[in-house]
Amino acid sequence: MTVWIVDSNAFIHLGSIASEEAIESLKGSLSEHGGAIHVTSGVHDEVRTVRFRAWRDRPRVLDVLSDVLHTTPISEGEIRGLANAIGEKAAPQDVDVSLMVLAAKKHGMGLDVVLVSDDYKMTTTREKAGLGYDTCPPSTFIQSLSDGASGKHSSRLRSLAKRIRAAEMRYAISRAGEYDIQGKLTWLIESLLSTKPSLPQQVKENAPNSIETSIQSLRRHVAGENVKKSNLKRLGALPEVCQPIREIDDHLESLLGVEGDPNDLYLSGLEVLQSVLERVGAGLSPLGDEQCMIAHRVMAGPVSRLESVLGLLAGSLGRGHASSLHMARALSQSTLSDDSRAEAMTMHHLGLMAIASGDNLRASMLFERAADQSALAGDSSLAHLIAAGISRHLAGEDDDAKTLIATAARIVQEDKESAIEPILGLARSLMGIDRPWLALELFDEALECAVESGASAEVERITNLLTLVNVAAVGEEDGTRKKTRDLLDRLNEIQLESQEEIQVVNEEIDQLVESQLSPLNETWRDWRDSSDLIPENEALIVVRVVRNDEGVLAVTHHPDIGGLGLWLPGESPDLAPGVAVSIGGTRIKLAEASNDLIQSQNIRGVIAVESPGELVVSINSLGEDV
């Protein structure tokens, strides 16, 4: 029997996603195998307010699962002991450490133990500490339970595991104060593949010979499913002509978890897309209009997914025009495939690009339509509504902006904890298009929601993000920025009992930010290895890129020091706000920044390189040289 030790995030995922039927199947599968969900008392504290959002009476998750929960208290001494053994800086949060203590205890008793967490640090820390239990994300936990269930219970749990997997990918990006393109890429591909419209049931042999019937049959054939010979025969040459379409999703699946240079990933995706389009196009050329229309409808979904990924990769490489074109084509294709989720996701990306180019009315139109499509798909429209309100405000249409923000505020008030992630996601996206002042206001709103909902882990995460965005937000708050703040302050109505606590947290953040904006106490007069500045498994986060004829100054955020300028003379790799970089191949020196750079770029120092010709910059922590 497996002992499942489960962290707080798993309960948050269940509360956001799980239906009553799925929880019934989960509890039945656990009971059938004599199992339980093991937690520590710290988990109760973190998820005490989490509720099942989709249930009629919105009961608390802990109350519903109480009969399968087994809680073990862990002493402060045990937590501190393991944290010290790991190293305070490297150790996870106290609640996570308490779960690791429990897992180690159970494993020491000779039990088969799995710690369930989608926080990758829990896995890496366990490995470094030499602890013998296993780890897995919540989706794998649910999938394992489905393997031991049967009938409708197995089907429900598989469906739940699939939806949680997509949520985990979204959460993975939000865990770090950085734009990790590999994590983002994995999330996007997983989300696109896991939420694509399910194929209809096998077409009955006596079904009418309609175009929709032919489209369904061809989709199933391309997906590798068995289709009746009579249905295939009606398709003529299309099954053979359209067979290459399958290579698109095969390629996307091959990228999951693969580390590599974003430029190489981009070029390989272009190659696959071109190859498939050429071969299918050549095969369709002698066929009639109706058969071509059927083929294009079948091809639309895979092409839309690949175009979305190419758009993301192009954006990470600073190729805004190419990124916008890929996203526009993804949107066009998704409308042919009747994929509301893909349409909403793509229109949101296009809206961000419109903001970046100053076309705010176009951006608001795209965000508003994305909100409509999300509603059709049964997804949250919060981020789209906020983005639409911001866009209307930037376009000078304040009445419409206030209406949109008021609609978003009602969603926030319904469940402040669930509102945190959409707000943070939009804030990080705005940083990625170099709109740090807008991001700063949204981080503030997310912080208020986190404090009011008692999500201490979220408060710490947002604190780290706020130190980063304060490096990016150069200049002083002017009248325009104050109006934007006044608008976004309408998102969350702070309860009176929370005001004092929020003020304390903000004062702590102000002190931290101030310490990271003060002059450096020490600079390096000698050349040193880059690891003296950037420890292994850490990186500098690019918040702005300043180019001139002599090279590039990448304004970055160091997790401990704050703002630093990385000077890359001559030709430099493609950099864009949000990417993470590490340095190798040459020694570096941490020099003082000029007064002009301190004032204009919010940096405390400049990283100089000893041998520019030997400089190797690794982007996005992928471990690939650029």
For the chain, percent of residues with pLDDT exceeding 70: 82
Q: With bands split at pLDDT 50, 70 and 90, how would you rate the model's confidence at 54?
A: confident
For the chain, percent of residues with pLDDT exceeding 90: 12
Task: Please write the tens of the pLDDT for every residue from 105-145.
Answer: 888 888 888 898 877 667 767 766 677 888 888 888 888 88
pLDDT of residue 554: 84
Tell if the pTM clears 0.85, that is, is over it: no
CA 140 to chain centre: 18
What distances in angstroms separate CA 303 from CA 56, 225, 246, 285, 320, one per listed residue?
A: 39, 20, 10, 19, 20
Amino acid at residue number 302 = P
CA distance 384 to 425: 11
Query: Is the confidence at residue 331, as pLDDT, over 80?
Result: no
Q: With bands split at pLDDT 50, 70 and 90, how would you rate the model's confidence at 5?
A: very high
Mean pLDDT of 541-570: 82
Mean pLDDT of 22-37: 82
Q: With bands split at pLDDT 50, 70 and 90, how would you rate the model's confidence at 337?
A: low
CA distance 73 to 76: 10
SS3 470: helix
Euclidean distance between the first and final Cα of the chain, in Å?
A: 47
More confident residue, 387 or 343: 387
Q: Which of 527, 551, 351, 318 is nearest to 438 (CA)?
A: 351
Q: Counting beta carbons within 10 angstroms of the beta carbon of residue 317, is it exposed (0 to 12), middle (13 to 18) or buried (19 or more)?
A: buried
CA distance 536 to 553: 23
pLDDT of residue 181: 52
Query: Is the confidence at residue 182, as pLDDT, over 70?
Result: no
pLDDT of residue 470: 78
**Residue 378 φ/ψ, nearest 5 degrees:** 80, 20
pLDDT of residue 531: 82
CA distance 204 to 231: 9
More confident residue, 246 or 342: 246
pLDDT of residue 61: 92
What's the token pair of residue 47?
């998820």
Query: Is the confidence at residue 452, as pLDDT, over 70?
Result: yes
On whether the CB atoms of residues 383 and 170 are closer than 8 A, the answer is: no
Task: Please write the tens of the pLDDT for every residue from 189-239.
Answer: 555 565 555 544 444 444 445 777 788 888 888 888 888 888 788 888 899
More confident residue, 324 or 567: 567
Query: Is the confidence at residue 334, as pLDDT, over 70?
Result: no
More confident residue, 122 or 160: 160
CA distance 149 to 410: 40
CA distance 529 to 521: 20
pLDDT of residue 626: 24
CA distance 273 to 265: 12
Query: Is the confidence at residue 407, as pLDDT, over 80?
Result: yes
Task: Please write the tens of the pLDDT for every residue from 408-435.
Answer: 999 999 888 889 989 998 998 888 777 8
Specify the DSSP class assigned to residue 529: -
Question: In residues, how long is the chain?
Answer: 626
